[in-house]
Every structure is written in structure tokens, then in C-alpha cells.
Chain A
């Protein structure tokens, strides 16, 4: 049972992990993006559009080509989410709008857009698409517990893990990562050193948003099997992702563990033999634990878990 709990925890946690990786990249560049929930919704919408585009091109009769449908949905989810990020980047970086207000507006906008277009969309092929997306290794069942625990997931799960590790390496060890951190810590310094602050911020926001958007795609097309789309509480998952960034101390590697923990809390009630009424209470667990984590991290106030120094502050070169 523990084994299957972990499998379920991972499969839920990936939603948060994508959001966490994306937001970490954005925050390392000094922008606090409260639009992540909206961006994840845009990603989900993009994925859905991608599915419809795929079936329009390749028809519904033939066997689904896994590589192609993955490519198309990921591309669309990434693009839709990055487009949301583009709005945010333009408003906050170029037009110096307040980051929190812009983020909130983007969330309202993204959630509305997903639900509006999502409910007016052709859902016929979502289950077919989901079946293709959510299993990568078809032979895993033959490999016993090993297959069950390590190979039973869809491509996006492995992608998330790889992205988390790569992002960690990028931020910590590469030259570009160092420059990005400088932008987030002290844009003044980075600018005076000839680093193109605007370009770095834009790229971080676009790429980060794109990655976060994959969380929405993953939830709709993999985790929930293409069924719950419009009613999905992706917004809540978005906020948990933002909280996960704090929990992970801006380190995507820690984010992997955190996402499994958060995912575990979400699926836990199903593994406890409790009544439906009690399940309603256990549903609160992820939020309560997040609150506890927020409190603990702030009480500890550890030196190596501080946010980038200029997080949330817009940069205008001529400001004195």
C-alpha cells in the first residue's frame, strides 16, 4: 500500500513540481509571479487545444502516435502559458506595473479563459489522448514492483524530474544561471556590469511560465485522464506551487521532494479507511500543511533560505 501511495503521490505531485520549477526560474530573475495559477490554467487550455489540433490533422481513426501527440500538446501548452507570461512580462518589466496586481489579474484572466473556452470545446478525444499520454513504458507491468514504482508514469512525469534537475544545475553552476541570479539579487549591479536585465527577466518569465503551464497540461491530460477539465481546481494547485517554491528554498531539487510530499497529502485520504465525511476534512490537509510550512520557514528564518533580494521590485534604470 505504501508503494502505491508513493506512486499516487508522485503522480499528483508532478502538477506542483512543474509550477514550482517555473516559478523558481521566474523568482530567481526577481519577479514574483502570482499569475502562476492562471498560467497553469492557460497551459491546460493549450494542451486541450493541442489535442484537438492533433486529431484534426491526423484524424481520429488511426492509432495515436504517442511521440507526435506529446509533441503537439506540450508545444501548445507551453505556448499558451508563455503567452500569459508574455502579458505579465510586458506589464511588469517594460511598463513597471505592480507585480502582485498584475499576477492576480493574470490569474483571474487565465482561469476565466480556460473555463470559458474549455466549456465550449470539443471534448470527444480527450480520453483517447490521455490514454496515449499517461503511459510511456507499456511493458512496466511485467517488471513487478520495480516497474510499478519507477516505470508506470507518463512521459511528462519524467520530463518534470529531468527539468527539475536541469534547472537546479542551470541556476547553481552555469554562467547564465549566475547572471540570472545577479538580476534577481541586484538588477542595478547586473545592469552596470552590462547584463541585459530586461532580456533576462523576459526570458526567465517566458520559459518559467511555459514550464509552469505544463503542470496544467499534465493535470488535465495525464493525472485526471482527460475528464475533469472545466471543474478542475487547477487554481488551487497553482497557489500550492507558489508555496512550494518557498518550501523548497528556491532549490528545484528540494522541490522534487516537496512535490511528492504535497502530492502525498492530496491523495492520502483515499488510502485511509475513513468515511466520506472525514475525507472532507482530510481534503484540507495540503492547505493546513502549507500554512504550517510557511510558519516554520519564517520562524527559522535561515540564512540559506532567503528569497532573491530584489524579489517583487521592478527595475527602472533611472530610478535613484
Chain B
């Protein structure tokens, strides 16, 4: 029996800034199946799906829905075809409640009144737990995702698109999501799952379509393939890239942090009493659900945020020092932030001017020395193979991977002994990602202390020496990567397992070979409380 085709892409093309994001794509989706769309970051998966959901307009080609040529000119049109998309970056109004978000755009005048009943019905059917009166900005990431999914189901969507839905979830939450998706399939819904994780493809999908650099490669039955074959299709060649943990002798602690307390912008608690230390030649990974205080932790260490507690660098107290003071002291700390264009770089400025950021003030005089910066830019472009028309191109015009190379190149260029990095490979293709990993390993070999905030647990487990797990700003334990599992980390991320409570006698996060004696720490504390008064 042939299955009914619900969606068919025929020769779809679309380009941005002169580069093809999609080129001649032909993919079909059958009724009642889970189809994975697999591809590296930047391979055009999201662009393609945005055309199905009416956000982008294809430049060439046609989309057929249930055998008829579809005319989708807006998300509204897509909704009327029964298409619903859960975007990777949630589309929710932060100041609205869950209900208000769910009924947005629904013309039915009774929607307000009936919302509770209908949502409860959906929630029971699939096993969601949700507080409908809670405002979005008070919600955790997985709660937000639940609202997004209910939103789609509320409109009786029969074609669901989920864009990288597990990126922000713990392994346990991801498993729950997959069982919900399978339940939807049983209801006859057709589901498209966008992902770059092979394990997910293998475990949930019926078929998998592969994109590479905007082009359609092939579609395979999941049962008839394996991870290695998929990787080859995805990257386009046999890949020997292997993530490895460099084994070197770690040196004494460089950065020691005790009793760190940080607040979020809105005054609520971000980090609550954190103790840990970084050794030279060691990579400390940080795992945690998005928004567990990672951003605030980084910003405190590099002096961009006010905090309570102590941070010492090689035994010197740097509490309360601003970024510029840390720089003046000659402490070479590099920070590769999560929001590259918003915090690390100036998007409208050229590559040259962005490299100047760290060095413009080193030379005396009132003028900026652009010539040497330009030379530096040329070197950096060559060394890391940055693809750019010139050194004077605004960085916002570069692709994600090239932007990150500029940022990392600049930060490493200052020869740091501490590197703080948050999600450094987010959005990068495989080759760029491995380049970043290699750079970090090189730095590790130079005895640099590295804090690596990550989201992919598999990466954290193979790449880092130790992992600190954060849950709502609290440390759930610091574990050696060789002695733990993904599942255990997942439990710690949600607070279900807490080593600090299980082994209180272990004094987690206090360096046994601290550069400061207990007496010194006590002195710091006394001084601190004096200053606070």
C-alpha cells in the first residue's frame, strides 16, 4: 500500500545575500510518519521549513500539500493548511501568560473562554504538565517548549515541524518529548524533525532526508542505514574527525572561586553560593539547562557583572574588579561569549576594527593605529581560513563560523592564561566546530585554564576533564568525565541528583592545593564584610 504524500517540495530554491540557502530541494513527507531532516548547521534545514510555514518565500520551485499545489504567502496561509512549526528560538510573547500565547491569532471569539478546557484536554491526552496562568518570562525552557507544542496542537495542526527541539532539554526531557512525538504519529499526524544529532535520527524517525550546504542529498529509511553512513552523506566525505580529551598534567589552580552569588538583570538570583576552581591545562565543562546562571557566571568572572563572594586569580583577590581593571592588572583573561555579535564583536564594524577592540589603547597618542590591525587581520584570516571579501568587511556580513573564527582568533591572540567560553560551537558547521575544539586543546596544552560552557552532553563528556553541573544557579556536583554518564548529568541538571547533599563531607569545589591558606580566605572574608558595611 502506498502511503499518502502530505507535503512535497519540488525544486525549491532560495538564497540570502547571494549565497544559496536552498538549491533544488525535493523532499516528500508521508502521512503518519516521522521524517528527520538531517544536516549540519548552515545546511539550510531551517530555511526550508520556514518556507513551509510561510515565513520565507521560495524564489523558485513549488510546494504541494496533499497533492495540490499550495500557495503559502504567510504563516496564516500555512496554518490554514494545518501546518504548525515549533521554532528553535521560541516565538512567544514574554509578558503574556501561557493561555494568552496559545490563543494568539485565533479568530474564534469564544477562544478565551474555551481555552482552558481545550488545553486541558490536549494536556491530558499527551501528558503535558502546564500552568496556564504562568507568564512566559517566569517559565523554564522546557515549559516554554511545552507551550509552543500546545500552541500548535491547539490549532489542530496535522503537519508538525520541530526545529532542533532537544537542543535545550536534558536527556530525560528529550526522551519524554520523543514519546509525545510518537503518540502524535499514532494519531495520524505527520512530523518533521529538524536535527543534527544522529542518535535522535536513529531512535525516533521513520525516514531521514539529508541536506548538505543547501543541497538535497538523499532520503533513506532509518532502518536501512547507520550513523556512519549518515555522517558521510551529511559532511560529504569520510570523516575522521574525532573529539578527544587531551591528557596532560594539570597545574595548580589559576582561578579559585568561592561562595559566588550573582543576580540576574531583573534582580532574581542567578548564581547561588558557587564554589569551584580552574587549573591550568584543564578544561572544566559546565552543564545545565539554558538559563541556569551560565551567562551570569561568565560575566562575573570577567568583571562585567556585580557579584558577592570571592574570585582569586593566582592567589590575588580580584573581587569586584571591572573588565578594564582586570586588564590593567595584566591578567590575561579571554572571554568567548555566547552572544558573539552582541557582546564579543561590534557587528557593523570591519574585521580590522574588531581586532582593534583589544589593542587600540595599548599604544600611546590620540590616534588609532589601523595599519598594524589590518596586518593582524590579514594574518588571522590566513591562519584560520576565514572566508571574507576583505579585511574591511563588516563582521555581520560573514557566516556564523567565520564570525566565530574572528572572535576566537582575537581572544587567543592575546595569549591568555584563562579562557572563559560559552557555547563556542553553537551554530557552526562540523569543520569550524572541530577547528574551535583543536584551538582549545592547543591552549590547554599551553597550560591555560579553560571554562567550557556547553549544551551538547556528548561533547562535554568526551572533551572536558571535569564537568560542573548547574541547576537553578546551584552546583549539583563536579564530576570527572570518565566516572559519569549522560543520564547522571541529566538527573543532576534537573536537580534530581545532588552530590553536594549526597557527599557533604567532600567539600566540592574547594581546591585541596589552594594557593591561599584557610586563614587567607578567612581574612578575605573579614575584609569583604568590612567593605560591605
Query: Do A and B touch each other in the complex, judged by CB within 8 A?
Result: yes
- Taking Cβ atoms with an 8 Å cutoff, the residues of A that contact B are 175, 178-179, 181-182, 185-186, 188-196, 303, 309, 317-318, 320
**Is B266 located at the chain interface by the 8 A CB criterion?**
yes
Q: Given contacts A175-B112, A178-B100, are A194 and B105 in contact (CB under 8 A)?
A: yes
**A185 CA to B85 CA, complexed, in Å:** 20
Report the nearest B residue to A196, measured CB to CB.
B76
| Partner pick for B76 among A178, A194, A320, CB 8 A cutoff | A194
Say yes or no: A178-B95 contact (C-beta < 8 A), given A192-B55, A193-B75: no
Contact call A186/B93, Cβ cutoff below 8 A: yes
Q: Is B95 within 8 A of A195, CB to CB?
A: no
Give min CB distance, B214 to chain A, whole Å: 15
Chain A: minimal CB distance from B150 (Å): 13
Chain B hits for A320, CB < 8 A: 16
Which residues of A sit under 8 angstroms from B75, Cβ to Cβ?
191-194
A309 contacts across to B, CB distance below 8 A: 94-95
3 A-B pairs with least C-beta separation: A193-B105, A194-B76, A189-B91
Does B96 count as interface, using CB distance less than 8 angstroms? Answer: yes
Which residues of the partner chain B approach A192 to less than 8 Å between Cβ atoms? 53, 55, 75, 85, 87, 91
Known: A303-B266, A318-B55. Contact between A189 and B104, CB under 8 A? yes
Q: Is the CB of B79 within 8 A of A194?
A: yes
Contacts of A190 in B (CB 8 A): 93, 104-105
12 pairs from A and B in contact (CB 8 Å cutoff)? A175-B111, A181-B96, A182-B93, A182-B105, A189-B91, A190-B93, A192-B87, A194-B76, A194-B79, A195-B104, A309-B95, A317-B56
The answer, yes or no, to whether B383 is at the interface (CB within 8 Å) is: no
B154 to chain A minimum Cβ distance, whole angstroms, is: 10
Say whether B94 contacts A185, CB under 8 Å: yes
Residue among A185, A194, A196, A318 making CB contact with B93, cutoff 8 Å: A185
Complexed CA–CA distance, A303 and B137 (Å): 12
Q: A185-B95, A192-B75 are in contact. Are A178 and B266 (CB under 8 A)?
A: no
The answer to whether residues A179 and B95 also contact, given A192-B55, A193-B75 and a CB cut-off of 8 A, is: no
Q: Tell me whether B104 and A182 are in contact (CB under 8 A).
A: yes
A175 with B109: in contact, given A193-B104, A303-B266 (CB under 8 Å)?
Answer: yes
Q: Complex formed: what's the CA distance from A150 to B229 in Å?
A: 82
Which of A179, A188, A191, A194 has the most chain B CB atoms inside 10 A of its CB? A194
A residues less than 8 Å from B87 (CB atoms)? 192
Q: Which of B36-63 contact A (CB under 8 A)?
A: 53, 55-57
Contact across chains for B105 and A179 when beta carbons are under 8 A apart: yes
A196 vs B74: C-alpha distance in the bound complex, in angstroms?
9
Residues on A with beta carbons closer than 8 Å to the beta carbon of B93 = 181-182, 185-186, 189-190
Q: Which residues of A contact B100 (CB under 8 A)?
A: 178
Question: Is there a chain A Cβ closer than 8 Å to B92's Cβ?
Answer: yes
A178 pairs with B91, CB closer than 8 A: no
Minimal beta-carbon separation of B67 from chain A (angstroms): 24
Q: How far is the CB of B71 from chain A (nearest CB, A)?
A: 15
Question: What are the interface flags for B95-110 relative to A under an 8 Å C-beta threshold, 1 for contact and 0 otherwise?
Answer: 1100011011100010
Q: Are B55 and A317 in contact (CB under 8 A)?
A: yes
CA distance A317 to B50 in the complex (A): 11
Partner pick for A186 among B74, B91, B105, CB 8 A cutoff: B91
Q: How many residues of B contact A (CB 8 A)?
A: 27
Tell me the smallest distance from the CB of A182 to a CB of chain B, in Å: 5
The distance in angstroms between the C-alpha atoms of A188 and B169, with both chains bound, is 23
Quick check: B92 and A195 within 8 Å, CB to CB?
Answer: no
Question: In the bound complex, what is the Cα–Cα distance between A189 and B105 (angstroms)?
Answer: 10
**Chain A residues closer than 8 Å to B101, beta-carbon distance:** 189
Question: Known contacts A179-B104, A195-B105; is A189 also within 8 Å of B79 by CB?
Answer: no
- In the complex, residue of chain B having the shortest beta-carbon distance to the beta carbon of A189: B91
Q: Contact mask B250-267 → A, CB, 8 Å, 1/0?
A: 000000000000000010
- Write out the residue numbers on chain A whose beta carbons fall within 8 Å of the beta carbon of B91: 186, 188-189, 192-193
Give Cα A189–Cα B57 distance, bound, in whole angstroms. Answer: 18
Say whether B96 contacts A185, CB under 8 Å. yes
> Which residues of the partner chain A approach B55 to less than 8 Å between Cβ atoms?
191-192, 317-318
Instruction: Report A-chain residues with C-beta under 8 Å of the C-beta of B76.
Output: 194-196
Partner of A318 from B53, B56, B266 at Cβ < 8 Å: B56
Report the Cα distance A186→B85, complex, angstroms.
17
CB closest chain-A residue, reference B16: A320
A194 to B53 Cα, complex, angstroms: 10
State in angstroms the CA–CA spacing of A190 and B92 once bound together: 8
On whether the beta carbons of A189 and B92 are closer than 8 Å, the reply is yes
Residues of A close to B79: CB separation below 8 A: 193-194
Q: How far is the CB of A140 from chain B (nearest CB, A)?
A: 41
Most chain A beta-carbon contacts within 10 A, residue among B79, B103, B105, B112: B105
* Besides the known contacts A175-B111, A192-B85, A193-B75, 16 further A-B residue pairs in the complex with CB atoms under 8 A apart: A178-B96, A179-B105, A181-B93, A181-B96, A186-B92, A186-B93, A189-B101, A189-B104, A191-B75, A194-B75, A195-B76, A195-B104, A195-B105, A196-B74, A318-B55, A318-B57
Q: How far, in whole Å, are A190 and B104 apart by their CA atoms in the complex?
A: 7
What residues of B have a CB within 8 angstroms of the CB of A194 in the complex? Answer: 74-76, 79, 105
Determine how close the nearest CB of chain A comes to the CB of B90; give it in whole angstroms: 8
Q: A320: nearest residue on chain B (CB-CB)? A: B16
Of all chain B residues, the one with the shortest Cβ separation from A308 is: B95
Q: How far is the CB of A189 from chain B (nearest CB, A)?
A: 4
Residue of A nearest to B91 (CB): A189
A178/B94 in contact, CB under 8 A: no
Chain A residues with CB below 8 A from B94, complex form = 185-186, 309
B57, B87, B92, B266 — most chain A CB neighbours (10 Å): B92
Q: Give the CA-CA distance A185 to B55 in the complex, in Å.
A: 18
The answer on a CB contact under 8 Å between B56 and A178 is: no
Residues in B neighbouring A189, C-beta threshold 8 A: 91-93, 101, 104
* Nearest A residue (CB) for B109: A175
| B111: A residues at CB distance < 8 A | 175
How far apart sit A190 and B91, CA to CA, in the bound complex (Å)?
A: 8
Q: How far is the CB of B165 from chain A (nearest CB, A)?
A: 16
Measured CB to CB, the closest approach of chain A to B46, in angstroms, equals 9
The smallest beta-carbon distance between A144 and chain B, in angstroms, is: 46
Q: Could you tell me the distance between the alpha carbons of A278 and B435 in the complex, rounded to whole angstroms?
A: 73
| Minimal beta-carbon separation of A240 from chain B (angstroms) | 27
How many angstroms from the CA of A193 to the CA of B95 in the assembled complex? 16
Per the 8 Å Cβ criterion, residues 87-135 of B in contact with A are 87, 91-96, 100-101, 103-105, 109, 111-112
Taking CB as reference atom, which chain B residue is nearest A188? B91
Q: In the bound complex, what is the Cα–Cα distance between A181 and B95 (angstroms)?
A: 10
**A130 to B329, alpha carbons, bound, how many Å?**
73
For B104, the chain A residues whose CB sits under 8 A away are 178-179, 182, 189-190, 193, 195
Q: Which residues of A contact B92 (CB under 8 A)?
A: 186, 189
Q: How far is B92's CA from A191's CA once the two chains are assembled, in angstroms?
A: 11
Q: Which of A179, A193, A318 has the most CB of B within 10 A?
A: A193
- Chain B residues positioned under 8 Å from A178 (CB to CB): 96, 100, 104
B83 CB to nearest chain A CB (Å): 11
User: Which residues of chain B have C-beta atoms less than 8 A from A185's C-beta?
Assistant: 93-96
User: B480 CB to closest chain A CB, in angstroms?
Assistant: 40
For B14, the closest partner residue in chain A by CB is: A318
User: A185 vs B95: C-alpha distance in the bound complex, in angstroms?
Assistant: 8
- Residues of chain A within 8 A of B105, CB atoms compared: 179, 182, 190, 193-195
Give chain A residues whose Cβ lies under 8 Å from the Cβ of B16.
Answer: 320
Q: With a CB–CB cut-off of 8 A, which chain B residues contact A186?
A: 91-94
Inter-chain CA distance A211–B88, complex, in Å, is: 40
B30 to chain A, nearest CB (A): 25
Give CA–CA (A259, B103) in the complex, Å: 35
CB distance from A79 to the nearest CB of B (A): 29
C-alpha spacing A191/B94, complex, angstroms:
15
Q: How far is the CB of A173 from chain B (nearest CB, A)?
A: 10
- Residues in chain A near residue B151, CB distance under 8 A: 193
